[in-house]
Structure 1
Amino acid sequence: MIGIKLWKKEVNEMSIEKVAVILGGTSTERDISLRSGHAVYEGLLKKGYNAFKIDPKLDDVYSILTNEKPDMAFIALHGQGGEDGTIQGFLDYLKIPYTGNSLLASALCMNKIFTQNILKANNILVPEFFTVTKEEYNVLGATGIRKKIEESFGFPAIVKAPSQGSTLGIYFINNPNEDYTKQLTYGIENAFKLEDILLIEAMIVPSTEITISVLGNQRPVALPTLEITTATGYFDYTTKYTHGMCEHIIPARLPLSVRQKAQAVAVETYTLLQCSGFARVDFMVQGNDIYMIDINTIPGMTDMSLVPDAAKVIGIDFPELIQLIIEMADGKDFPLEKYEKALLEVEK
């Protein structure tokens, strides 16, 4: 299997007792990572693990890991440095087992441009898009980008810094009462503060936003569909992490056939990108068309996060979910037989 973890053959011989929770870091998602990591740490303690926390921004990660010699690292780092393969490669070098995805899968899924090109080549539906570099923008300007959007797929559109998470670096160009060139200037110039190449994407409207968590290794399993509604109509950083501004509806309010198709596409996406352990796949659904818009290899683990909510519906509480993630990193697979009945999507 491409992207196999370097320690895979050794880890099954070990007993997992001591776990390092790697959290915080230096990315734009530091605050969410701290919340996720603390929740994971508490969950590990409830399951009897000897857990401790490491923050790469504050701690000497190499010294702590080599001195403490944990049986496994639970990666709760969101964004760059955590989801892009960096910490995975570091842990591979130290031969320390870790949760979630390999270096390769993490790097591919972190960059929305690579992800969408791979999926498009494999006939998985993604929104129409093109990319723009700083050099191209300096030549074309916002006026030239506007013309390219109008010739490609039209407005509304979205500007994305492709390797950010938690909906950071995303700008909606969708206000018909404000000049689109002005909106593009603001969005593109702010997104370029984060990255040197941007994704310009068609905005799928009207649509229903859903997310599907996938767990497992050799036989990945899709959890129930989860529909996201927000107070503002956009699932951005504010609505995602502010109590009362978003609602998670499980299962999604879509026909059974569409929900089942979305689950199948989520598993196919997960498999194509060589994912393992767990990930979350996000979609926009318009009629019978299911557009894959993002995949998260280290999804949030806060009290408002999507994966824990989906797991809870089939009877997996948060500490149990954390233990399952540890066990899957230890080479086991998702215990489908235990949860098979609860996983069935039914007519609403």
Structure 2
Amino acid sequence: MINPMGTSSEPHVLVLAGGLSYERDVSLRSGRRVLDALRATGISAELRDADVTLLPTLREDPPDAAVIALHGATGEDGSLRGVLDLCGIPYVGCTAAASRLAWDKPSAKSMLRENSIRTPDWVALPHDRFSELGAVAVLERIEDRLGLPLMVKPAQGGSGLGASVVRDSTALPAAMVSCFAYDSTALVEKYVAGTSVAVSVLDLGEGPFALPAVEIVPRNGVYDYAARYTAGLTTWHTPARHPAPVAENVASMALAAYKALGLQDLSRVDLIVDADEVPHVLGVNVSPGMTETSLLPLAIQAGGLDFGRVLEQLVGAAVTRGAR
């Protein structure tokens, strides 16, 4: 790789993983896989936690670029990216501002809706308002407005933590309590039955493109935390088993979401394809998992690309941005 400084030496890269979120263990698995893939291409890379030692390290021995393999708030709410910006360290992935927008599901859904991108109807409810206005009355209005079944999930969060499908009104209070254990605001969304798919979007320097969609078939019907990260609990089909026109529509919608939210380099767009073969965007992840059961690496392989080489190109683009 020729770096922007005009030398032929490979860049030195920090892979940031771990953190203090509920997804720490998954993040460490992602980080180690990214580390191994980068080293296999000849890039000098090391794994670091996002803890109190990080800033002194960035000051004393700044890397040429960083790869953020942190999940949850630390890696996805824009705060760490903002700190890297302050330190002048380029990184793979979207800007801090775009990350903040994508991380907050109600805000992201509002932006999608403004851009005429289909997403299930919803209401966002902070815990304080839920208590002040009376839980029973609020839940009745939600059910009247959105109907059943419902999807309840944290407004900010990932990996299916705190998320549940509510098919009976008697289960709604418990779902809200479970959700509030992970975030102070609940997103209550009209549940759309159908086929779950994930479309990874990459930009390797010539504009964003969609990789083959991954169809997700959890054994118990719910793609929760255990189904995501426990081998044998989920079956994936890549490419997704859709007719060509549906596959094209899904890819087009994923690209539209990527552009509407101002993303960069890589992302994963989660969708549901309903019984009429109409796709709906559920959310966007700006720091996708990189584990052995994660969807981005599966899509990269299905697209005929090499995981390590893709990371190498993304690092090169980040280094170039930093030089500019």
Same fold, TM-score > 0.5, yes or no: yes
CA contact 1:14–1:71 (8 Å) conserved in 2: no
Residues 12 and 107 (structure 1), Cα distance of their counterparts in 2 relative to 1, 3 Å cut: farther
Residue in structure 2 matched with residue 61 of structure 1 by the alignment: 54
State percent identity of aligned pairs.
33
Rounded Cα–Cα distance in structure 1 between residues aligned with 2:223 and 2:85: 35
5+ residue gaps, structure 1, are 1-10, 333-348
Structure 2 residue identity aligned to 1:270: Y
CA contact 2:162–2:182 (8 Å) conserved in 1: yes
1:199-232 alpha-carbon deviations (Å, 9 max, x no partner): 1101102x01111000016621000111110101
Residue in structure 2 matched with residue 148 of structure 1 by the alignment: 141
Residues 13 and 144 (structure 1), Cα distance of their counterparts in 2 relative to 1, 3 Å cut: farther
Question: Please, what is the CA RMSD of the aligned residues?
Answer: 1.7
With structure 2 as the length reference, what TM-score do the two structures score?
0.92
CA contact 1:72–1:98 (8 Å) conserved in 2: yes
5+ residue gaps, structure 2, are none
Residue in structure 2 matched with residue 300 of structure 1 by the alignment: 289
1:158-206 alpha-carbon deviations (Å, 9 max, x no partner): 11111101111212212x4xxx23x22222122223222211101102x
Residues 159 and 219 (structure 1), Cα distance of their counterparts in 2 relative to 1, 3 Å cut: same
Shift of 1:150: 2.5
1:188 aligned to 176, 184, 192, which one? Answer: 176
Structure 2 residue identity aligned to 1:307: L
CA contact 1:262–1:290 (8 Å) conserved in 2: yes
2:317 aligned to 303, 324, 328, which one? Answer: 328
Residue in structure 2 matched with residue 259 of structure 1 by the alignment: 247
CA contact 1:308–1:321 (8 Å) conserved in 2: no
CA contact 2:17–2:49 (8 Å) conserved in 1: yes
SS in 1 for 2:270: strand
CA contact 2:105–2:156 (8 Å) conserved in 1: yes
CA contact 2:124–2:155 (8 Å) conserved in 1: no
1:210 aligns with 2:197: yes
1:44 aligned to 38, 46, 65, which one? Answer: 38
Shift of 1:255: 1.7
Structure 2 residue identity aligned to 1:214: V
Rounded Cα–Cα distance in structure 1 between residues aligned with 2:79 and 2:200: 23
Report the number of matched residues.
Answer: 315
CA contact 1:73–1:98 (8 Å) conserved in 2: yes
Residues 147 and 273 (structure 1), Cα distance of their counterparts in 2 relative to 1, 3 Å cut: same
Rounded Cα–Cα distance in structure 2 between residues aligned with 1:153 and 1:272: 25
With structure 1 as the length reference, what TM-score do the two structures score?
0.86
